[in-house]
Structure 1
Amino acid sequence: MIYAVWIPLLVPFLVVPAARRLADALSPRRAVRLLAATGAGLAVFTLSALALLVVPGAGRLSAVAAAGEFVRPLAAVEPALALPLAAVALALLLGCAAGMTRAARRHWAQLHRTARPEHGDDSELAVLRDARPDAYALPGRPGSPGRIVVTTGMLHALEPAERDALLAHERAHLTGRHHLYLVAAELSARCHPALRALRAPMGYALERCADEAAARAVGDRAVAARAIGRAALAARTAGGPAEAHPAPALAAAAGPVPRRVAALLGRTAARPRIGRAAAATLIACLAVSGAAALDATHDLHSSIEAAQGEAP
């Protein structure tokens, strides 16, 4: 077990280069789903590996050994390493649990605050009287559709067709519940430091999903690209957003806007081979990590049976 258990802890470092290429090489929706599955799966396997490292050391404690009916020490890990590894793994597990709990509670509190009708009534669209251009999607709590917040400055900066594209972009964030993918990426990042690198590709892929939805809604990819570019330019020229965005908000002017505009206009070269290779890499990392975690679990189970005096 001591060898297999390390694989889930090392594999996440291999997904970073592939994840960075995935968002441009695959369709945005597929990229989002694969990135989310990769982050969640590797996070679960990381926690499983840490838990497996705790058990052999804990089994050397008299109270645990008595509860487990061990007649001999567990042989899953070298005796000199069992207790130190268990102490470190337990500390990491508790740190992961605390980080995930804080992140989940903070997100829930933010959704609770943003659910209050501070920007007008409870309608989908809230228009703020502010000359500085700004627009973002503000998700609601479960059962609440959320709302689109836009300033008069942003409405004046865009043509009518561009306004429709901008609103369609923000509406896609709400209907797709895109903030939940960002929360999942954040929770995964709390389990392994390498998984923090998935947050940027995830954010870009989500913006691309909304961009494509806006292009379909207005029926013109050029209008959607122009709306995104002009909205970002107007916001930056004005010196920043009209107000500090709430943390769950998703803004059309966020992320690498030139890359998004180029993708909408078809100016990025199609790279299906790179996309397939990146996707295959992430799937392989998930498979290897999961198989290693299962193998380590089987070995530990055999060690427990042997420690209990049962036939292997």
Structure 2
Amino acid sequence: MIYAVWLPLLVPLIAVPAARHTAARLAPRAAARLLVFCAVLLACSSTAALGALAVLGLLRLDLVASAADFSPGTLAGYASVALWTAPVAMVLLLAGFAQVIRVLGRHHKELRSEQRATDPAAGELTVRPDEYPYAYALPGRRGKPGNIVISAAMLRTLHPGEREALFAHERAHLAGHHHRFLAAAQLAAMLHPALRGLREPLAYALERWADEAAARAVGDRKLAAKAIGRAALAARESKSPAARRGAILATAGGAVPRRVMALLQADDTAQPAWRRCWACAVAVALLCCLALSAVTGVDAVEDLHLNVHIAQTQTESR
């Protein structure tokens, strides 16, 4: 445990760039799922490692050790780890959990505020008589479908065909539960700072996922690109407050010029051999990082449990 416990804390420094590189070469749906999986796994592994360090430090206190029926002296081999790392680990854990609770509370408040302002009888589409353009997907409450919220100004900005593309884009956000992807990545970043690097590529992948769904729905990639570009430009110029809410997927999210170019350009998978080899090598490195983080995180917890059991046995034999 002395050495393995550090790996889940360090692996994200390598895994995050590898995940970004790999996701950039995948289809949007696969990229989003990969990024969320990496964020959650790395966050859980690093939290388990910090928890093992914090518990190890607590177990060296006479009061805690006596409650666990063993002598602190039997864990003397871990003194070099526990004495100075345990307080730091506990502070980091408490700070991370406090951030998670704060973000969850803020997102819950945002969603409930928007849901209360939406008429349940309005159906899928809610049009608000606001004079600044915006459109976003509002997740529904438990057991209820979500809504597409759009302003009257946005409807006037778009032509009929572009409106259908925009509606299809927002439907894809709701059907794919994309707000959960964003929430998972944001909470993971609260537990390990290096994971913040996955939020921007995830937001882009989710928008591209919805863009592709919109293009398939209207059967015209150019029309979808035009609708998304026009809607995003109008929403950004109006500085709509809806676009700044972290719990809501707004139309202007992601790198809009890249999204429009991705819709307009033809699919061309032909790449030089060295690029394909490099992409495969990065993907293999990412897989190794994820496996190493998961295995060492579990090993740290199991090793702590085993050593506590040994310490209890030695204490009873005296």
What is the TM-score with the length of structure 2 in the denominator? 0.88
SS in 1 for 2:235: helix
1:299 aligns with 2:299: no
Kindly indicate whether residue 137 of structure 2 is the aligned counterpart of residue 127 of structure 1. Answer: no
CA distance in 2, matches of 1:260, 1:89: 41
By percentage of residues, which structure has more helix?
2
**Does the aligned pair in 2 maintain the 1:135–1:150 contact within 8 Å?**
yes
The answer on whether the counterparts of 1:119 and 1:127 sit within 8 Å (CA) in structure 2 is no
Q: Is the 8 A contact 1:39 1:185 kept in 2?
A: yes
Unaligned runs of 5+ in 2: none
CA–CA distance in structure 2, aligned partners of residues 156 and 69 of structure 1: 72
- Given that residues 115 and 146 in structure 1 are in contact (C-alpha distance below 8 angstroms), is that contact kept between their aligned partners in structure 2? no
Deviation at 1:18, TM superposition (A): 2.2
CA distance in structure 1 between the partners assigned to 2:241 and 2:293 by the alignment: 45
Which residue does 1:60 correspond to in 2? 60
- Give the letter for the 1:297 counterpart: V
Q: Distance in 1 between matches of 2:161 and 2:279?
A: 33
CA–CA separation in structure 2 for the residues paired with 1:245 and 1:294: 38
Aligned-pair identity in percent equals 51
**How many angstroms does 1:74 deviate by?**
4.2
CA separation of 1:6 and 1:76: change in aligned 2, threshold 3 A: farther
The corresponding residue for 2:290 is: 286
Report if aligned partners of 1:127, 1:150 keep a CA contact under 8 Å in 2: yes
Q: Judge conservation of contact 1:145–1:175 (CA < 8 Å) in 2.
A: no
Q: CA RMSD in A?
A: 2.5
| Superimposed CA distance per residue, residues 159-203 of structure 1 (whole angstroms, 9 cap, x where no aligned partner) | 221110011001111111111111101110110000111111111
CA separation of 1:29/1:277 partners in 2, compared to 1, >3 Å: closer, same or farther?
farther
Q: Residue 313 of structure 2: SS of its match in structure 1?
A: coil
Partner of 1:182: 182
Following the alignment from structure 1 to structure 2, what is the Cα–Cα distance between the partners of residues 291 and 81? 20
Aligned residues: 310
Q: Deviations over 1:1-49 (max 9, x none)?
A: 1110000000111122223334431011111111111111111111110
Aligned to 1:26: 26
Within 5 Å, which residues of 2 pair with 1:251-266? 251-266=250-265
- Closer, same or farther: CA 308–125 of 1 in aligned 2, 3 Å: same
CA contact (8 A) 2:243 2:253 kept: no
Look up the match of 1:39: 39
C-alpha distance in 1 between matches for 2:229 and 2:58: 57
Q: Which moved more, 1:21-30 or 1:292-301?
A: 292-301
Cα 1:165/1:188, change in 2 over 3 Å? same
Distance 1:74 1:224 in 2: 67
Q: 1:165, 1:214 within 8 Å by CA — same for their partners in 2?
A: yes
Letter in 2 for 1:140: G
Give the TM-score taking structure 1 as reference length.
0.90
